[in-house]
A and B are shown apart, each in its own frame.
Chain A
Amino acid sequence: MEPTVSFFSGFTLNDLWFLGEAALRTMWISALSITIGTVLGVLFGWVLYEGKWIATLTVAPFLDIFRSVPLIIQLVLFYNFAPIVGLNLDPFASGVVILTIYTAALVANVARGGMEAVPAPMRRAARSLGMTYWQDLRHVVLPIGGRAVFPAWVGVALGVMKDSALVSVLGYVELLKASQILITRTQEPFLILTLAGAFYFALSYPISRYAATLERKWAQ
């Protein structure tokens, strides 16, 4: 019998390299979105905290939309909306934009919670000691409120890192997309998915444990 030609080939060391590169891309897109998103989110959180009803009518519903619509729909929508207004964004840029706003929407709530966690008398005390409004924010609210919501922020950041897998729908080859490509070729779904999952786990688990330890230590 003639040896049959197979379209499939086994899993090689090269493929491991391919997965590793994809993992770096996952980390890069998450790090970028989380960093910018956190800065924006704290800003939004401050607006929500100080803005009273004006913010409640403007910023809050806007952020609410990003929390109430699936991320995957947001990504597809933005990716197809950008060319309509004449923006030509590649999958990476679209992914970063949406992940950033998504992060900001989640962090805004966390940040507002942190500001509300600082007792009002403490802030009044800071002001009566002669601190300016910004000094009070920087030296009183940031350390105390930040500490109160740090674990929640870690949760949000890890969530965004995991959700960055969805950027694959736009064709950006991050870890999960790379594993799909490899699965199509090697037909070894179990091995490759396990590798991809192990990477996410190895990144997420120690950080979440560390945050939980910190939370316990600070609670004492």
Chain B
Amino acid sequence: MFDYNFHWRPVMRSLPDLIDAAFLTLQVAVLAMILGIVIGLCLALIRLHKTGPLLWLASTWVELARNTPALFQLFFFGFGLGAFGLHLSPYMIVLAGLTFNCAGYLAENFRGGFQAVPDTQVRAARSLGMTAWQTYTRIVIPQVFRIVYHPITNQMVWAVLMSSLGMLVGFRELSGETQFFASRTFRIFEYFTVTAVIYYVIVKIILGASRLLAMRLFRY
């Protein structure tokens, strides 16, 4: 049936390296998500409450992140910034690109979350003598967090999948490492099959962990 001999041995031999690379993938994705959540939160609050140049900046960020390909964003951080003499390492390119993208997408989710918390609750909290900071951290954010929990999980999965684009800017995370080994041994199909399985497992672990965490967090 197949006019091809499958050779899995070289793949198995470099499996430890692939697993290491998978941890690098996870590391970049998690870092980008943490930064993305912080920046996304800021962007959402700016878009809800501020006017002027700050609003313009936040809106531009969100719309650019959502309406251009992630690969374009990576290229921009990789090559586009080179025009200004700014040369980032492949790791930084992927981290910056992913953060930019995640922050944009998360900002829209957060905005929806904030709008879902009724204004009257904020007023009630303030009239009970809470400061604005207390109102946000104790009343608004916990409720918003519940609403955006699933979007955040999805975005985490997307971040892992998107980090595979690092392959195209010379970053040796899971995909880049696979590409490296594959072009050395010409066992492209075998290598990428194993990588696909690893990605699948990572995604399933993230989704499973998120579900477990949700059961503990949202018991009431």
A residues sitting closer than 8 Å to B (CB atoms) are: 65, 68-74, 76-77, 80-81, 83-86, 158, 162-163, 165-166, 168-169, 176, 179-180, 183, 188-191, 193-194, 196-197, 200-201, 204-205, 208
B199: contacting residue among A68, A165, A179, A189, CB under 8 A? A68
| Residue contact A77 to B189, C-beta cutoff 8 Å | yes
A208: contacting residue among B67, B70, B72, B162, CB under 8 A? B67
Contacts A80-B189, A80-B192, A81-B189 given: A73-B68 contact, CB under 8 Å?
no
Could you tell me the distance in whole angstroms from the C-beta of B72 to the nearest C-beta in chain A? 5
Could you tell me the distance in whole angstroms from the C-beta of B187 to the nearest C-beta in chain A? 10
List 28 interface pairs A-B (beta carbons < 8 Å), by A numbering.
A68-B200, A68-B204, A69-B199, A70-B164, A72-B164, A72-B165, A72-B168, A74-B196, A77-B193, A81-B189, A86-B3, A162-B67, A163-B69, A165-B71, A166-B71, A189-B80, A190-B80, A190-B84, A193-B80, A197-B64, A201-B64, A201-B67, A204-B66, A204-B67, A204-B68, A205-B63, A208-B66, A208-B67
A200: contacting residue among B72, B157, B178, B189, CB under 8 A? B72
Could you tell me the distance in whole angstroms from the C-beta of A215 to the nearest C-beta in chain B? 12
For chain B, residues 138 to 158, give those with C-beta under 8 angstroms from any C-beta of chain A: 157
Interface size on B, residues (CB 8 A): 39
CA distance A168 to B76 in the complex (A): 16
List of B residues within 8 angstroms of A168 by Cβ? 71
B79 within 8 A of A: yes
**Smallest CB-CB separation from A73: which chain B residue?**
B196
B218 within 8 A of A: no
Among A70, A76, A84, A197, the most chain B Cβ lie within 10 Å of the Cβ of: A70
| Residue contact B200 to A85, C-beta cutoff 8 Å | no
CA distance A158 to B70 in the complex (A): 12
CA distance A208 to B69 in the complex (A): 14
CA distance A176 to B64 in the complex (A): 16
B175 within 8 A of A: yes
| Residue contact A200 to B188, C-beta cutoff 8 Å | no
| Residue contact A193 to B76, C-beta cutoff 8 Å | yes
Contacts A80-B188, A204-B68 given: A193-B75 contact, CB under 8 Å?
yes
